[in-house]
Amino acid sequence: MTPFRFSSTPIDTETGRRALLDGAAGGYVSFEGWVRDHNEGLAVRRLEYEAFVDLAVKEGERIVAEAIGRFALRGALCVHRIGDLAIGDLAVWVGVSAVHRGEAFDACRYIIDEVKHRLPIWKKEHYANGDSGWVNCERCAAAAHHDHGSHTHDSHAHD
Amino acid sequence: MTAAAAPLRGLVLAGGASSRMQRDKAALDYGGRSQLDRVVALARRHVTGVFVSVRADQAQDPVRAGHSLIIDTFTDGGPIAGIRSAFTRDPAAAWLVLACDLPLLSDAAIEHLIRSRDPAGFATAYRSTYDGLPEPLCAIWEPRSADALAEWVARGHKCPRKFLGAHPVTLLDPIDAHALDNVNTPEEYARARAALDQGTTREAMRIQIRYYALMREQAGRSDETVETEAGTPAALYRELGARHPFTLTPEQLKVAVNGDFSDWSRALRPDDVVVFIPPVAGG
Protein backbone atom coordinates (compact mmCIF):
# COMPACT_ATOMS: atom_id res chain seq x y z
CA MET A 1 0.00 0.00 0.00
CA THR A 2 1.14 3.54 -0.71
CA PRO A 3 1.72 5.61 2.45
CA PHE A 4 -1.02 8.11 1.59
CA ARG A 5 -3.88 7.76 -0.82
CA PHE A 6 -7.36 9.00 -1.63
CA SER A 7 -10.40 6.79 -1.93
CA SER A 8 -13.69 7.60 -3.62
CA THR A 9 -15.29 4.50 -2.06
CA PRO A 10 -15.67 3.53 1.65
CA ILE A 11 -12.31 2.93 3.35
CA ASP A 12 -11.56 -0.68 4.29
CA THR A 13 -9.77 -0.23 7.62
CA GLU A 14 -9.13 -3.94 8.05
CA THR A 15 -6.98 -4.04 4.89
CA GLY A 16 -4.94 -1.13 6.26
CA ARG A 17 -4.51 -2.76 9.66
CA ARG A 18 -3.40 -6.02 8.08
CA ALA A 19 -0.81 -4.21 5.97
CA LEU A 20 0.77 -2.89 9.18
CA LEU A 21 1.02 -6.27 10.96
CA ASP A 22 4.65 -6.74 11.92
CA GLY A 23 6.36 -9.19 14.28
CA ALA A 24 8.67 -6.46 15.56
CA ALA A 25 5.80 -4.12 16.47
CA GLY A 26 4.53 -4.09 20.02
CA GLY A 27 1.56 -1.87 19.32
CA TYR A 28 -0.80 -0.46 16.70
CA VAL A 29 -2.83 2.75 16.97
CA SER A 30 -5.42 3.93 14.48
CA PHE A 31 -7.56 7.02 14.14
CA GLU A 32 -10.88 7.25 12.34
CA GLY A 33 -12.34 10.66 11.47
CA TRP A 34 -16.14 10.49 11.15
CA VAL A 35 -18.60 12.88 9.58
CA ARG A 36 -20.37 14.65 12.45
CA ASP A 37 -23.97 15.90 12.31
CA HIS A 38 -23.19 19.41 13.53
CA ASN A 39 -20.51 22.09 13.27
CA GLU A 40 -20.38 25.52 14.90
CA GLY A 41 -23.99 25.34 16.01
CA LEU A 42 -25.40 24.28 12.65
CA ALA A 43 -26.97 20.91 11.88
CA VAL A 44 -24.98 19.24 9.09
CA ARG A 45 -26.73 16.92 6.63
CA ARG A 46 -23.81 15.79 4.45
CA LEU A 47 -20.29 16.71 3.32
CA GLU A 48 -18.35 16.98 0.09
CA TYR A 49 -14.59 16.54 0.04
CA GLU A 50 -12.55 17.94 -2.82
CA ALA A 51 -8.76 17.70 -3.19
CA PHE A 52 -5.91 18.94 -5.32
CA VAL A 53 -4.94 15.30 -5.61
CA ASP A 54 -1.43 15.50 -7.09
CA LEU A 55 -0.13 17.89 -4.47
CA ALA A 56 -2.12 16.35 -1.60
CA VAL A 57 -0.67 12.89 -2.30
CA LYS A 58 2.84 14.33 -2.49
CA GLU A 59 2.41 16.26 0.76
CA GLY A 60 0.59 13.34 2.44
CA GLU A 61 3.50 11.03 1.64
CA ARG A 62 5.88 13.61 3.11
CA ILE A 63 3.84 13.70 6.35
CA VAL A 64 3.86 9.91 6.70
CA ALA A 65 7.60 9.81 5.99
CA GLU A 66 8.19 12.54 8.61
CA ALA A 67 6.24 10.54 11.19
CA ILE A 68 8.13 7.35 10.43
CA GLY A 69 11.45 9.18 10.83
CA ARG A 70 10.50 11.22 13.86
CA PHE A 71 8.85 8.44 15.92
CA ALA A 72 10.88 5.45 14.70
CA LEU A 73 7.75 3.65 13.53
CA ARG A 74 7.54 0.19 12.05
CA GLY A 75 4.89 1.41 9.61
CA ALA A 76 2.30 4.12 8.93
CA LEU A 77 -0.56 4.61 6.45
CA CYS A 78 -3.23 7.18 5.79
CA VAL A 79 -6.31 7.08 3.56
CA HIS A 80 -8.60 10.07 2.94
CA ARG A 81 -12.05 10.00 1.39
CA ILE A 82 -13.04 12.23 -1.48
CA GLY A 83 -16.52 12.98 -2.87
CA ASP A 84 -19.92 12.95 -1.13
CA LEU A 85 -20.15 11.62 2.42
CA ALA A 86 -23.08 11.10 4.77
CA ILE A 87 -23.29 11.53 8.57
CA GLY A 88 -21.32 8.75 10.27
CA ASP A 89 -19.18 7.96 7.23
CA LEU A 90 -15.48 7.41 7.73
CA ALA A 91 -13.70 10.48 6.25
CA VAL A 92 -10.08 9.72 7.09
CA TRP A 93 -8.15 6.78 8.51
CA VAL A 94 -4.64 6.74 10.01
CA GLY A 95 -2.86 3.59 11.18
CA VAL A 96 0.61 3.27 12.70
CA SER A 97 2.62 0.44 14.22
CA ALA A 98 5.62 0.87 16.52
CA VAL A 99 7.83 -1.10 18.86
CA HIS A 100 6.21 0.63 21.87
CA ARG A 101 2.78 2.18 22.35
CA GLY A 102 3.99 5.71 23.23
CA GLU A 103 5.48 6.34 19.79
CA ALA A 104 2.41 4.84 18.14
CA PHE A 105 0.00 7.20 19.94
CA ASP A 106 2.18 10.25 19.30
CA ALA A 107 2.76 9.43 15.64
CA CYS A 108 -0.92 8.81 14.95
CA ARG A 109 -1.76 12.20 16.46
CA TYR A 110 1.03 13.86 14.47
CA ILE A 111 -0.18 12.47 11.16
CA ILE A 112 -3.83 13.45 11.56
CA ASP A 113 -2.92 16.95 12.78
CA GLU A 114 -0.55 17.57 9.87
CA VAL A 115 -3.03 16.13 7.36
CA LYS A 116 -5.68 18.55 8.55
CA HIS A 117 -3.42 21.58 8.33
CA ARG A 118 -1.24 20.93 5.31
CA LEU A 119 -3.06 18.94 2.66
CA PRO A 120 -4.96 20.80 -0.07
CA ILE A 121 -8.28 19.19 0.79
CA TRP A 122 -11.50 21.14 1.15
CA LYS A 123 -14.75 20.28 2.86
CA LYS A 124 -18.12 21.67 1.89
CA GLU A 125 -20.79 21.30 4.53
CA HIS A 126 -24.46 21.09 3.56
CA TYR A 127 -26.62 22.28 6.43
CA ALA A 128 -30.12 21.28 7.53
CA ASN A 129 -31.28 24.86 6.87
CA GLY A 130 -30.43 24.53 3.17
CA ASP A 131 -27.22 26.58 3.26
CA SER A 132 -23.82 25.22 2.40
CA GLY A 133 -20.29 26.47 2.84
CA TRP A 134 -16.60 25.66 2.45
CA VAL A 135 -15.18 25.14 5.93
CA ASN A 136 -12.57 27.77 6.90
CA CYS A 137 -13.17 29.72 3.67
CA GLU A 138 -16.49 31.44 4.12
CA ARG A 139 -17.93 31.87 7.59
CA CYS A 140 -14.45 31.87 9.10
CA ALA A 141 -12.62 33.82 6.40
CA ALA A 142 -12.91 37.22 8.05
CA ALA A 143 -11.67 35.94 11.40
CA ALA A 144 -9.04 33.57 10.06
CA HIS A 145 -5.66 33.75 11.77
CA HIS A 146 -2.50 32.82 9.96
CA ASP A 147 0.57 31.78 11.84
CA HIS A 148 3.89 31.80 10.04
CA GLY A 149 2.12 32.48 6.76
CA SER A 150 0.56 29.05 6.69
CA HIS A 151 -2.99 27.94 7.19
CA THR A 152 -3.37 26.69 10.69
CA HIS A 153 -7.12 26.95 11.03
CA ASP A 154 -8.71 24.67 13.53
CA SER A 155 -11.16 22.50 11.77
CA HIS A 156 -14.12 21.66 13.94
CA ALA A 157 -15.20 18.35 12.54
CA HIS A 158 -14.49 15.01 14.17
CA ASP A 159 -11.75 16.02 16.56
CA MET B 1 3.73 45.99 7.21
CA THR B 2 1.59 47.00 10.17
CA ALA B 3 -2.17 47.32 10.26
CA ALA B 4 -1.74 51.09 10.34
CA ALA B 5 -0.02 51.24 6.93
CA ALA B 6 -1.54 53.81 4.57
CA PRO B 7 -3.33 52.36 1.55
CA LEU B 8 -1.01 52.19 -1.43
CA ARG B 9 -1.92 53.83 -4.74
CA GLY B 10 0.00 54.13 -7.97
CA LEU B 11 1.38 57.26 -9.63
CA VAL B 12 3.03 57.02 -13.04
CA LEU B 13 4.96 60.18 -13.91
CA ALA B 14 4.36 61.23 -17.50
CA GLY B 15 4.92 64.96 -17.30
CA GLY B 16 8.54 65.02 -18.43
CA ALA B 17 9.83 67.13 -21.30
CA SER B 18 11.74 64.27 -22.98
CA SER B 19 14.27 66.81 -24.26
CA ARG B 20 17.17 64.41 -24.83
CA MET B 21 14.95 61.86 -26.57
CA GLN B 22 13.52 64.63 -28.77
CA ARG B 23 10.19 62.81 -28.75
CA ASP B 24 7.61 62.01 -26.09
CA LYS B 25 8.98 59.20 -23.88
CA ALA B 26 5.50 58.22 -22.69
CA ALA B 27 4.53 57.45 -26.30
CA LEU B 28 7.53 55.25 -27.15
CA ASP B 29 6.33 52.01 -28.63
CA TYR B 30 7.27 48.61 -27.20
CA GLY B 31 5.63 45.67 -28.92
CA GLY B 32 2.68 47.75 -30.11
CA ARG B 33 1.97 49.44 -26.78
CA SER B 34 3.05 52.80 -25.47
CA GLN B 35 5.56 52.91 -22.64
CA LEU B 36 2.97 54.72 -20.53
CA ASP B 37 0.33 52.01 -21.05
CA ARG B 38 2.86 49.33 -20.13
CA VAL B 39 3.85 50.94 -16.84
CA VAL B 40 0.23 51.67 -15.91
CA ALA B 41 -0.69 48.01 -16.56
CA LEU B 42 2.29 46.90 -14.47
CA ALA B 43 1.29 49.16 -11.56
CA ARG B 44 -2.32 47.93 -11.73
CA ARG B 45 -1.14 44.39 -11.14
CA HIS B 46 0.14 45.47 -7.73
CA VAL B 47 -1.96 48.33 -6.38
CA THR B 48 -5.53 49.53 -6.61
CA GLY B 49 -6.00 53.06 -7.94
CA VAL B 50 -3.35 53.97 -10.49
CA PHE B 51 -3.06 57.57 -11.75
CA VAL B 52 -0.94 59.26 -14.35
CA SER B 53 0.76 62.50 -13.35
CA VAL B 54 0.70 65.19 -16.07
CA ARG B 55 1.13 68.91 -16.51
CA ALA B 56 -2.04 70.89 -17.19
CA ASP B 57 -1.13 71.36 -20.86
CA GLN B 58 -0.83 67.57 -21.34
CA ALA B 59 -4.31 66.61 -20.09
CA GLN B 60 -5.81 66.38 -23.60
CA ASP B 61 -2.84 64.56 -25.09
CA PRO B 62 -4.11 61.31 -26.68
CA VAL B 63 -1.33 59.18 -25.14
CA ARG B 64 -2.36 60.34 -21.64
CA ALA B 65 -6.04 61.31 -21.83
CA GLY B 66 -7.39 57.74 -21.50
CA HIS B 67 -5.88 57.30 -18.04
CA SER B 68 -7.00 58.58 -14.65
CA LEU B 69 -4.99 61.78 -14.43
CA ILE B 70 -3.60 63.84 -11.61
CA ILE B 71 -2.81 67.25 -13.06
CA ASP B 72 0.03 69.17 -11.44
CA THR B 73 -1.26 71.65 -8.90
CA PHE B 74 2.25 73.01 -8.30
CA THR B 75 3.89 75.15 -10.93
CA ASP B 76 7.50 74.54 -9.94
CA GLY B 77 7.54 71.49 -12.23
CA GLY B 78 9.56 68.32 -12.11
CA PRO B 79 8.80 65.01 -10.42
CA ILE B 80 8.36 66.61 -6.99
CA ALA B 81 5.43 68.66 -8.31
CA GLY B 82 3.79 65.43 -9.52
CA ILE B 83 4.32 63.64 -6.20
CA ARG B 84 3.06 66.62 -4.19
CA SER B 85 0.00 66.85 -6.43
CA ALA B 86 -0.75 63.18 -5.69
CA PHE B 87 -0.55 63.87 -1.95
CA THR B 88 -2.91 66.80 -2.46
CA ARG B 89 -5.34 64.43 -4.20
CA ASP B 90 -5.15 61.84 -1.41
CA PRO B 91 -3.10 62.87 1.64
CA ALA B 92 -3.96 59.63 3.47
CA ALA B 93 -2.48 57.40 0.76
CA ALA B 94 1.06 56.22 0.20
CA TRP B 95 2.14 56.41 -3.44
CA LEU B 96 3.99 53.86 -5.49
CA VAL B 97 5.72 56.36 -7.78
CA LEU B 98 7.00 55.06 -11.10
CA ALA B 99 8.71 56.95 -13.89
CA CYS B 100 7.28 56.15 -17.29
CA ASP B 101 10.71 55.68 -18.85
CA LEU B 102 11.58 52.36 -17.18
CA PRO B 103 10.76 49.78 -19.87
CA LEU B 104 12.60 46.94 -18.11
CA LEU B 105 10.77 47.33 -14.81
CA SER B 106 9.45 43.94 -13.67
CA ASP B 107 6.67 42.58 -11.47
CA ALA B 108 9.33 41.08 -9.22
CA ALA B 109 10.97 44.48 -8.66
CA ILE B 110 7.62 46.07 -7.72
CA GLU B 111 6.69 43.19 -5.45
CA HIS B 112 10.01 43.31 -3.64
CA LEU B 113 9.55 47.02 -3.06
CA ILE B 114 6.03 46.52 -1.67
CA ARG B 115 7.07 43.62 0.55
CA SER B 116 10.01 45.58 1.94
CA ARG B 117 7.96 48.72 2.50
CA ASP B 118 8.38 50.59 5.78
CA PRO B 119 5.07 52.45 6.22
CA ALA B 120 6.44 54.36 9.22
CA GLY B 121 9.29 55.96 7.25
CA PHE B 122 9.40 58.65 4.59
CA ALA B 123 9.91 56.29 1.68
CA THR B 124 11.12 52.89 0.50
CA ALA B 125 13.38 52.97 -2.55
CA TYR B 126 16.00 51.09 -4.51
CA ARG B 127 19.64 51.99 -4.36
CA SER B 128 20.96 52.94 -7.78
CA THR B 129 23.37 50.40 -9.27
CA TYR B 130 25.32 53.33 -10.77
CA ASP B 131 25.89 55.74 -7.89
CA GLY B 132 24.38 54.06 -4.80
CA LEU B 133 21.92 56.93 -4.32
CA PRO B 134 18.18 56.35 -3.83
CA GLU B 135 16.06 55.97 -6.96
CA PRO B 136 13.11 58.30 -6.29
CA LEU B 137 11.05 57.29 -9.31
CA CYS B 138 10.59 53.63 -8.53
CA ALA B 139 9.77 54.09 -4.86
CA ILE B 140 7.00 54.12 -2.31
CA TRP B 141 6.43 57.57 -0.85
CA GLU B 142 4.67 57.52 2.53
CA PRO B 143 2.18 60.22 3.64
CA ARG B 144 4.62 61.74 6.13
CA SER B 145 6.89 62.81 3.26
CA ALA B 146 4.20 65.24 1.96
CA ASP B 147 4.93 68.04 4.44
CA ALA B 148 8.66 67.41 4.26
CA LEU B 149 8.51 67.79 0.46
CA ALA B 150 6.73 71.13 0.82
CA GLU B 151 9.45 72.32 3.17
CA TRP B 152 12.16 70.99 0.84
CA VAL B 153 10.76 72.98 -2.09
CA ALA B 154 10.28 76.07 0.09
CA ARG B 155 14.00 75.91 0.87
CA GLY B 156 14.73 76.08 -2.86
CA HIS B 157 15.43 72.39 -3.57
CA LYS B 158 14.08 70.56 -6.60
CA CYS B 159 15.71 67.15 -6.67
CA PRO B 160 13.72 64.19 -5.31
CA ARG B 161 16.87 62.04 -5.21
CA LYS B 162 18.58 64.52 -2.89
CA PHE B 163 15.40 64.67 -0.82
CA LEU B 164 15.54 60.92 -0.22
CA GLY B 165 19.25 61.16 0.50
CA ALA B 166 18.56 63.74 3.20
CA HIS B 167 15.69 61.90 4.93
CA PRO B 168 15.44 58.53 6.68
CA VAL B 169 14.33 56.09 3.99
CA THR B 170 14.48 52.32 3.57
CA LEU B 171 16.96 51.50 0.81
CA LEU B 172 16.90 48.20 -1.05
CA ASP B 173 19.48 46.56 -3.25
CA PRO B 174 18.05 46.00 -6.72
CA ILE B 175 17.07 42.40 -7.46
CA ASP B 176 17.75 42.90 -11.17
CA ALA B 177 20.62 45.13 -12.30
CA HIS B 178 18.72 46.54 -15.27
CA ALA B 179 15.15 46.83 -13.94
CA LEU B 180 15.64 50.55 -13.26
CA ASP B 181 17.52 51.44 -16.44
CA ASN B 182 15.81 54.47 -17.86
CA VAL B 183 15.58 55.49 -21.44
CA ASN B 184 16.68 59.06 -22.22
CA THR B 185 18.27 58.82 -25.65
CA PRO B 186 17.47 57.12 -28.96
CA GLU B 187 20.42 54.75 -28.29
CA GLU B 188 19.01 53.70 -24.90
CA TYR B 189 15.60 53.21 -26.51
CA ALA B 190 17.11 50.88 -29.11
CA ARG B 191 18.92 48.90 -26.38
CA ALA B 192 15.74 48.55 -24.29
CA ARG B 193 13.76 47.31 -27.28
CA ALA B 194 16.47 44.78 -28.06
CA ALA B 195 16.46 43.55 -24.44
CA LEU B 196 12.68 43.15 -24.54
CA ASP B 197 12.87 41.32 -27.87
CA GLN B 198 15.31 38.87 -26.31
CA GLY B 199 12.75 38.15 -23.65
CA THR B 200 14.89 39.36 -20.77
CA THR B 201 11.74 40.90 -19.36
CA ARG B 202 8.10 39.91 -19.35
CA GLU B 203 6.03 39.67 -22.45
CA ALA B 204 2.59 38.08 -22.58
CA MET B 205 2.77 34.35 -21.95
CA ARG B 206 0.31 31.52 -21.64
CA ILE B 207 -0.43 30.36 -18.08
CA GLN B 208 -2.88 27.68 -16.96
CA ILE B 209 -4.86 28.11 -13.76
CA ARG B 210 -6.72 25.28 -12.02
CA TYR B 211 -9.39 26.10 -9.48
CA TYR B 212 -10.62 24.09 -6.52
CA ALA B 213 -13.42 24.40 -3.96
CA LEU B 214 -14.42 28.01 -3.22
CA MET B 215 -12.02 29.35 -5.86
CA ARG B 216 -13.64 27.08 -8.48
CA GLU B 217 -17.11 28.31 -7.57
CA GLN B 218 -16.06 31.96 -7.63
CA ALA B 219 -14.20 31.62 -10.92
CA GLY B 220 -17.15 29.70 -12.35
CA ARG B 221 -14.81 27.10 -13.87
CA SER B 222 -12.33 24.38 -12.97
CA ASP B 223 -9.52 25.72 -15.10
CA GLU B 224 -8.62 28.37 -17.62
CA THR B 225 -5.72 29.38 -19.78
CA VAL B 226 -4.81 33.05 -19.93
CA GLU B 227 -2.39 35.20 -21.88
CA THR B 228 -0.81 37.40 -19.26
CA GLU B 229 2.11 39.68 -18.61
CA ALA B 230 1.89 38.92 -14.88
CA GLY B 231 5.37 37.87 -13.88
CA THR B 232 4.53 36.22 -10.56
CA PRO B 233 1.62 34.36 -8.91
CA ALA B 234 0.89 37.48 -6.82
CA ALA B 235 0.52 39.65 -9.93
CA LEU B 236 -1.51 36.94 -11.65
CA TYR B 237 -3.92 36.66 -8.70
CA ARG B 238 -4.49 40.40 -8.73
CA GLU B 239 -5.12 40.36 -12.47
CA LEU B 240 -7.56 37.42 -12.25
CA GLY B 241 -9.30 39.11 -9.33
CA ALA B 242 -10.36 41.89 -11.69
CA ARG B 243 -12.28 39.32 -13.75
CA HIS B 244 -13.61 36.96 -11.08
CA PRO B 245 -15.38 37.82 -7.81
CA PHE B 246 -12.71 36.35 -5.54
CA THR B 247 -13.28 37.09 -1.85
CA LEU B 248 -10.06 35.67 -0.39
CA THR B 249 -6.94 37.82 -0.10
CA PRO B 250 -3.47 36.50 -1.01
CA GLU B 251 -2.72 36.39 2.74
CA GLN B 252 -5.48 33.80 3.11
CA LEU B 253 -4.23 31.67 0.23
CA LYS B 254 -1.24 29.55 -0.58
CA VAL B 255 -0.09 29.04 -4.12
CA ALA B 256 1.24 26.05 -6.04
CA VAL B 257 3.09 26.14 -9.35
CA ASN B 258 3.51 23.00 -11.43
CA GLY B 259 2.26 20.71 -8.67
CA ASP B 260 4.20 21.95 -5.66
CA PHE B 261 3.94 24.76 -3.15
CA SER B 262 5.52 27.97 -4.38
CA ASP B 263 6.46 31.43 -3.24
CA TRP B 264 4.14 34.24 -4.34
CA SER B 265 7.07 36.08 -5.91
CA ARG B 266 8.43 33.20 -7.99
CA ALA B 267 8.99 34.16 -11.63
CA LEU B 268 6.33 32.53 -13.81
CA ARG B 269 7.36 30.84 -17.05
CA PRO B 270 5.30 30.12 -20.15
CA ASP B 271 2.89 27.19 -19.71
CA ASP B 272 3.24 27.09 -15.92
CA VAL B 273 0.23 25.61 -14.11
CA VAL B 274 -0.88 27.70 -11.14
CA VAL B 275 -3.25 26.71 -8.33
CA PHE B 276 -4.44 29.17 -5.69
CA ILE B 277 -5.05 27.16 -2.52
CA PRO B 278 -7.82 28.44 -0.24
CA PRO B 279 -7.77 27.60 3.50
CA VAL B 280 -7.76 23.83 3.78
CA ALA B 281 -10.06 21.59 5.81
CA GLY B 282 -9.03 17.99 5.44
CA GLY B 283 -9.56 15.33 8.07
Q: Where are the domains of chain A?
A: 4-151
- In terms of domains, do B45 and B177 share one? yes
* Nearest residue of chain A to residue B216 (CA atoms): A50
Percentage of residues in chain A with pLDDT exceeding 90? 83
Among B197, B223, B252, give the residue marking a domain's end: B197
* Neighbour-count burial for B25-37, b at 16+ CB within 10 Å, e otherwise: bbbbebeeebbbb
Nearest-neighbour CA in chain A from B233: distance (Å): 16
Mean pLDDT of chain A: 88
CB contact under 8 A, A157 and B283: yes
Nearest to A141 among B247, B275, B282 (CB): B247
Tens of pLDDT, residue by residue over B213-255, are 999 999 999 999 999 988 889 999 988 998 999 999 999 999 9
Ranked by mean pLDDT, the top range of A89-93, A129-133, B191-195 is A89-93
Strand ranges inside chain A, DSSP E: 4-7, 27-34, 38-39, 42-51, 75-81, 83-86, 90-98, 121-127, 132-134, 146-147, 150-151
- In terms of domains, do B180 and B210 share one? no
Assess whether pLDDT exceeds 60 at residue A158: no
Nearest to B214 among A51, A80, A137 (CB): A137
Q: What is the domain count for chain B?
A: 2
- Structural domain boundaries, residue B52: 8-197
ipTM of this complex > 0.90? no
Test the B interface: residue of A110, A113, A137 with most B CBs within 10 Å: A137
**Which ranges of B175-259 would DSSP assign to H, the alpha helix?**
186-197, 213-219, 233-241
CB contact under 8 A, B214 and A134: yes
Nearest to B279 among A56, A151, A157 (CB): A151
- In terms of domains, do B89 and B146 share one? yes
The gap from C-alpha A87 to its chain's centroid, in whole angstroms, comes to 16
- In terms of domains, do B148 and B229 share one? no
CATH of A4-151, one of 3.40.720.10, 3.90.1170.40, 3.65.10.10, 3.90.1640.10: 3.90.1170.40
- In terms of domains, do B133 and B242 share one? no
The answer to the question of residue B169 being in a domain is: yes
- In terms of domains, do B214 and B127 share one? no
Confidence of residue A145 (pLDDT cuts 50, 70, 90): very low
CB contact under 8 A, B213 and A117: no
Nearest to B240 by CA among B220, B260, B213, B266: B220
User: A4 — contact with chain B (CB < 8 Å)?
Assistant: no
Mean pLDDT of B204-218: 95
Residue B202: per-residue pLDDT? 53
User: A124 — contact with chain B (CB < 8 Å)?
Assistant: yes
Quote the CA–CA distance of B13 and B20 in Å, as a whole number: 17
CB contact under 8 A, A124 and B254: no
Residues of chain A contacting residue B259, judged by C-beta atoms under 8 Å apart = 54-55, 58
CATH number of the domain enclosing B239? 3.10.20.30
User: A14 — contact with chain B (CB < 8 Å)?
Assistant: no
CB contact under 8 A, A157 and B277: no
Among the residue ranges A9-23, B19-33, B95-109, B223-237, the one predicted with the least confidence is: B19-33
- In terms of domains, do B153 and B88 share one? yes
- In terms of domains, do B86 and B163 share one? yes
Tens of pLDDT, residue by residue over B89-129, are 999 999 999 998 888 888 889 999 999 999 999 999 999 87
